[in-house]
Amino acid sequence: MRIVTMALLVAGFAVPASADESAVVLKKAPGVDKVEGQCSACHSLDYIPTNSPFPSAELWDAEVTKMIKAFGAPINDADAKIIAEYLKKNYGS
């Protein structure tokens, strides 16, 4: 009986808390489809609006390059250019 009680207690703490998270909605502009499709394959899109007050155009270019070269994101050159332009125009400083 003691094992069952402990198991129920542990299970009660193991249930994930429900977070009040809303879906990230990026600015609708040319290139948003590439950003949503490519970037969200590896990480949450909330990084973009959360960090957007800070990056310059040069930093967005560097971030896209880093995702491809350092982290191995399978993004071709044409899509990388579209993604970088979208980020610079819509989330740059």
HSE, CB side, 13 Å, CA atoms: give it for residue 72: 0
pLDDT digits over 4-61, tens only? 555 555 555 555 544 555 788 899 999 999 999 999 999 999 989 887 677 899 999 9
State the average pLDDT over residues 64-71: 96
The C-alpha R_g of the chain, in whole angstroms, comes to: 20
Protein fold of 32-93: Cytochrome Bc1 Complex; Chain D, domain 2 (1.10.760)
Query: pTM score, two decimals?
Result: 0.74
What local confidence, expressed as pLDDT, does residue 54 receive?
Answer: 79
Instruction: Please report, for the chain, the start and end positions of each structural domain, with discontinuous segments joined by +.
Output: 32-93
State the average pLDDT over residues 73-89: 96
